[in-house]
Amino acid sequence: MQALLRPNSLGRLSPRAGAYLVALFAVLTYAMEYWQPAGFFWDENYHVAAAQKYLNGVYFMEPHPPLGKLLIAAGEEILQANEQQDDFTGTTYARDPSPGFSFAGYRLFPVVFAIFSALLLYELARRLIGRSDWAILVTSFYVFDTALIVHSRGAMLEGPQICFVLAALLSGTALCQAGSRKAQIRWAVLLGSSFAAAMATKVTSLFIVCCAPVVLWCLWRKGAALLGPVVTALSAAFLVYAAIWQAHFLLGTTINPSLDDQGFYSTNRDIRQLITDGASSKIENLPTMFLAAQDFFKRYQGGVPLLNLCKNDENGSPPYFWPFGARSINYRWELVDGGMGTRFLYLQANPIVWLCSLVGVLGAAAVLFGCIFFGLWNKLQRRGAITSIFLLYVCYMLPMLFITRVMYLYHYFIPLILGMLLFGLVLSEVSRIGPFQFTPSRKTTLLKLVSLAVICSFIYFSPLAYYQPLSDLEIESRAWIKLWDLRCANCSRTTLLAFPLANQ
């Protein structure tokens, strides 16, 4: 323990060795027996059914862009974990898998991308903060967060989305730091491609466009030409995004009459004719098919219910609850034989991680406030990084406050990670709080102590992420904040705040 807390114990590691260390722990926390439990939870019912349609060439439409489900299908295609891959091609919602059904393939790529996200976060933190040891410690917040782990180990979309978002942020940072024209073009290609991939996974990735002015400002200040990187990034984004949608229509050409509207999903006469004639997958018809998919998205979103905290079975939560880890969601549970406890998959935050992320956001706001009103701007060494990450946080969260449809805690994952970065950046700038002086060695020791607390909290809450049995008393002991609504399977809700949206 004393060796770990020595200020230079991690400082001796090279950047590559630090990446190996991060990858090792990410594999241990995210990949260990990821195929368990052998049953659906949360949106897996929808995404596995969609993946099987790709595997069997069935035409369909869904409320999310196609890339995440294409990757889920690719994992099953690679591992071939199930002999039968058409159990759910006639339904939108998969249920009751056959005995021996394996989730190893369907969950493969979400887990792989979650692990790769740890490496991207480490590299991004290293570039922004400037120290490999601090980047390792900041990345430990991601590696040991129970909410991120339980969600990313399922056949979900957020694992790939987070990876592509981090790749875009890293590419934008590297583009700003690039010293040669060749390097700028290379990073511009990666920036455009990763942005397109993120947008082709979930539309909430649109907030990334807020970093465009920052990147352009950085290039302009360096005297670099703007036209080349801009055209390169936009071209890469267009080509990648179009290719993903073309793959979606190319893989889905067969109509299954068991699906919505006899398999046509309420499309107009022209679209039906294209599908019937086998022309929906032709490249010249891509714009028409894409617009038809957007029309379906709009119709689907119009039918999503509003958030109503008065509902007894409501799992959603308003955005202003999210920074506090509320509300937790019971994804799956089952009684242990003999009634000795209950196994849970719970979307439950690691409270130390989420507290540090919130401190990072509030600390960044305080630092920027001081810069604006007390003339501290020139005293900050990383003012550009703090400003950019904080603005990205605001650009993501502000629209969420005006969305009336039901949203869930996992929609906060991306701002949560931005808060982790802000925690490290703000700490790197703090030199004194009152009489206490923060030297670099003291900051390193503080980061290690916080990381140790993160790991201890992870161990305590990990049964909720790995489907391990807990008694009702053990669940109650982990419900530190009533706002979380963490409770046993048959216990009543503990919500502190509710407001009726309509008379029901």
Q: What tens digit of pLDDT does each residue of 80-109 get? A: 989 888 889 889 898 888 888 999 999 999
Q: What is the pLDDT of residue 2?
A: 47
C-alpha span between 400 and 396 (Å, rounded): 7
Low-confidence ranges of the chain (pLDDT < 70): 1-12, 338-339, 375-378, 432-434, 493-504
Task: Give the residues across from 254 on adjacent strands.
Answer: 58
Q: What is the pLDDT of residue 491?
A: 75
- Find out whether 374 and 399 touch, Cβ atoms under 8 Å: no
Question: Can you read off the two tokens belonging to residue 127?
Answer: 């570039």
Q: What tens digit of pLDDT does each residue of 454-498 get? A: 999 999 999 999 999 988 888 888 989 888 888 887 777 665 556
| DSSP percent split of the chain into helix, strand, coil, nearest 5 | 60, 5, 35
* Domain spans, the chain: 44-106+157-302, 306-498
pTM: 0.91
Q: What is the pLDDT of residue 278?
A: 83
Residue length, the chain? 504
Q: What is the pLDDT of residue 51?
A: 93
Alpha helix (H) ranges present in 87-226? 108-129, 132-143, 146-152, 158-177, 181-199, 212-221
Q: What is the pLDDT of residue 355?
A: 96
- Find out whether 468 and 332 touch, Cβ atoms under 8 Å: no
Q: What is the pLDDT of residue 4?
A: 46
Q: What is the pLDDT of residue 341?
A: 83
Q: What tens digit of pLDDT does each residue of 17-33 get? A: 889 999 999 999 999 99
